[in-house]
Amino acid sequence: MTLTIVSYGIARDILGGAEMSWQVEVSTIGDLKQALVVRYPDFKKLVKFSLAVDEAYQDDAFELKDGDEVVVIPPVSGG
């Protein structure tokens, strides 16, 4: 399937840009997280990162479909 990956902050740095189209064999958010770590090992350095589809955070069991836009949300520190 082909997904549009949008990223911010450190995730954008790891992926080398703010948006990319990626053809990848995954079916769930959990699969996509694993694929991101395999293709971009620097994701292992993040304590945690979340993924959102259709402007909503999704858990690892969420089923992806071809053409989804997935937003990578890195850990955020505030103050």
CATH code, domain carrying 48: 3.10.20.30
Chain segment 39-50, per-residue pLDDT in tens: 999 998 887 889
What is d(CA 40, CA 18) in angstroms, rounded to the nearest whole number? 15
Q: Which amino acid is at 17?
A: G
36 vs 2, 18, 43, 53, CA distance in Å?
A: 14, 15, 7, 16
pLDDT tens track, the chain, 79 positions: 999 999 998 999 999 999 999 999 999 999 999 999 999 999 988 878 899 998 899 999 999 999 999 999 987 765 5
In a domain, 79, yes or no: no
Domain assignment present for 7? yes
For residue 65, is it within any domain? yes
Overall pTM > 0.75: yes
Total domains in the fold of the chain: 1
Query: Structural domain of residue 54, as residue ranges?
Result: 2-73
Is residue 60 one of the residues assigned to a domain?
Answer: yes
**pLDDT score recorded for residue 21:** 97
